[in-house]
Structure 1
């Protein structure tokens, strides 16, 4: 029943339905996962052009230009976006040019407007023109080039890039519909009076936010009280979801009814993961519905989601960085440890408060340091780091 973190991810992914692909307009693509590679329909830039306002000319004509000895060139026209100069720039000549305008034939360099002084029909350069201010055709990407890869999450920058590639619609994976339900008599909705021993339903709202960040359709269900009958009734109300996430009720206590229900009436793929925090996690099924039981402790619940559930739902591997440890990080003999940490100056530091109920630590900490089973890290060692932002 005990599994490693990577085994837990694989088992959950195997229970999820096959992802459906749909075409959506760019306006609806933000936050979704790309279902196929996107190739460029055009080159960008579509022509060799200027990166700034100034003049286009031949670099060789300007090499001696300085503030004390400006070089004078004769203006023979202008080039702007939508109205390119149709002639050719010859020796001693220049064309006034604007950002994004096509570079005239014969010109190979740009001098910015700040370094120019108009002189009637000519212009004086206080410095040499630079070929580095020329954007070459296809310098960003060329027509036919594969630019965006299947599986990428469509951030605003990637949606903008898809538009620049020439795509009005993109293929995305249809979002998985994920229901979220907290369990326990002690769980109270925020805003209601809180009695002794009760807690607000923070887990559910954190999970819904993480699901939406992952591109899923999240459905928040009412919390279920601690009774087998109430839990079974709540599960029966989950309609149309691809997977159910529960929070609480999966440990070894007398009132952990999620565990009991799956064991007695459903199926169990695993119970407990070799990790800390978050060991008492559970995967099973109930009447054909995949059920992932997250621990009730808020830190454990959200960490398990981040390192196991999210990669399985999105199909994207957990991304880690290698950073230098600024403080020691202890290991555990039989579990992979995910310690909350802060980042400073390219190093990672132990956050300090590692209790599973210290929810504020997840708000303040920026990363999780991963210490494999039986390992440890001393100051100066390189460690794997999972960013939480």
Structure 2
């Protein structure tokens, strides 16, 4: 059954059991996915405060102040973070104030320190009017009880910081998918070993393991299996407890594509082949209750299929594409969507040039995958959708 990229993504998502939820401390939240909305436990700022170092005063007392005719105010105290001024500021008065310090009662504006001149021990001269715009209002960022973060958000470093500012010590997150990873093929050799003619180092296993880690998955490394149904069955049997098995190699139409045979003859198949290039021979199915997606052995094909089909299913996040202007033409395929490697310069995308499925260096050098729909070539100057790498 040949399917589109969108159908492949939906079918893989349907095979995955919805992940449960767990609670983790803030220190362990980076890279996880928020499982429930977060509400603010406090307001931020918790009080109306100054955005600058300077003085807090009444705006009305400073209107018309210039370097040639400064306004003169009496200093009656200071306000600093953690130690606010305890009284009110009256007409003609001010307090020294520091960034983040609460505004004293009666004051409604700030004059920055660089616009001030001392006039004896108890007075200051303002060379311009004080500004209410330099006052941060209580709850200006968020208010207690407000829903600030939605379920499904990936927890980046700024979002972890925001969660802490909301007052949360622990966060509800999606449980990590447990994904078993297996590479196959008699020609595949562990990096560092002697490479004989016709052999290739196992780049897929390490590239896919890194991509799974980027998705926040717990990776079960099954190593490598040679080309035999028995070896595959033995390796797959060691993936107990996994939510998904990801394999590379053995899924095309050759005599020794045993991963394909294992699923077709002894398991079940949801689809075999995706209308895309690179990566068409991918297969999705199951074996003894375990969802299995078999990726092509060519390294570019394997990693591109993971990027556009597997990653969105595992993260729950749609494929993020943006629109750029094509600086070079990109050819279309009559019956497949193409994901050509591109290089971005000056806001435009250029064809990388070498688009073969075995040119792994191209994925390292390229900035994006350029999406060319079936039968719709892209000309110079056309707008085109790209997925950043």
When normalised by structure 2's length, the TM-score is 0.96
Alignment deviations for residues 258-306 of structure 1 (CA, whole Å, 9 cap, x no partner): 0011111011110000111111100011111111001111111111111
The alignment of Structure 1 onto Structure 2 pairs a total of residues equal to: 388
The 1:374–1:116 alpha-carbon spacing in structure 2 relative to 1, beyond 3 Å, is same
Question: Residues 196-345 of structure 1: matches in 2 within 5 Å?
Answer: 196-345=197-346
Unaligned runs of 5+ in 2: none
Structure 2 CA distance for aligned equivalents of residues 18 and 139 of structure 1: 37
Partner Cα separation in structure 2 for residue 383 and residue 141 of structure 1? 38
Rounded Cα–Cα distance in structure 1 between residues aligned with 2:380 and 2:73: 62
Question: Hey, what does 1:125 align to over in structure 2?
Answer: 126
The alpha-carbon distance between structure 1 residues 364 and 59, as it changes in their structure 2 partners (threshold 3 A), is farther
Shift of 1:42: 1.2
Q: 2:68 & 2:297 partners in 1: Cα distance? A: 75
Distance 2:231 2:140 in 1: 62
- The aligned counterpart of 2:379 is 378
* Residues 1:345 and 1:73: Cα distance change in structure 2 (over 3 Å): farther
| Structure 1 residue runs without a partner (length 5+) | none
- Quick one: distance in 2 between partners of 1:362 and 1:387? 11
Aligned counterparts, 1:56-71, within 5 A:
56-71=56-71
| Residue deviations 1:35-82 (CA, integer Å, cap 9, x gap) | 111111111111111112111122233333333433222111111111
Task: Give the conservation status (yes or no) of the 8 Å contact 1:224–1:231.
Answer: yes
Quote how far apart the aligned CAs of 1:207 are. 0.9
Deviation at 1:185, TM superposition (A): 1.1
Query: Cα gap change, 1:36/1:128 in structure 2, threshold over 3 Å: closer, same or farther?
Result: same
CA contact (8 A) 1:32 1:154 kept: yes
Contact 2:48 2:138 survives alignment (8 Å): yes
* 1:208–1:219 contact (8 Å) kept in structure 2: no
Q: Secondary structure at 1:223's aligned position in 2?
A: strand
User: d(CA) in 2 for partners of 1:385 and 1:96?
Assistant: 53
Distance 1:61 1:329, change over 3 A: farther
SS in structure 1 at match of 2:64: coil
| CA distance in structure 2 between the aligned counterparts of 1:331 and 1:242, rounded to whole angstroms | 36
Aligned equivalents of 2:109 and 2:159: distance in 1? 31
For residues 105-151 of structure 1, the C-alpha deviation after alignment (integer angstroms, 9 at most, x for no partner) is 22222122222222221112233322222111111111121111111
Contact 1:214 1:310 in 2 (8 A): yes
Could you give the per-residue CA deviations for residues 165-202 of structure 1, whole angstroms, max 9, x where no partner exists? 11111111110100111101111111212111111111
What is the CA–CA distance in structure 2 between the aligned matches of 1:327 and 1:136, rounded to whole Å? 51
Q: In structure 2, the residue corresponding to 1:348 is in which secondary structure?
A: strand
Other-structure match for 2:72: 72
Moved more, 365-374 or 296-305: 365-374
CA contact (8 A) 1:294 1:304 kept: yes
Q: Which residue of 2 aligns with 1:156?
A: 157
Say whether residues 1:104 and 2:104 are aligned partners: yes
SS in 2 for 1:222: strand
1:212 shift after superposition: 1.1
Question: Could you say which residue in structure 1 is the equivalent of 2:173?
Answer: 172
Report the RMSD for the aligned CA atoms in angstroms: 1.4
In structure 2, the residue matched to 1:83 is 83
Please state whether the residue corresponding to 1:237 is helix, strand or coil.
helix
State how far apart, in whole Å, the 2-side matches of 1:330 and 1:228 are: 39
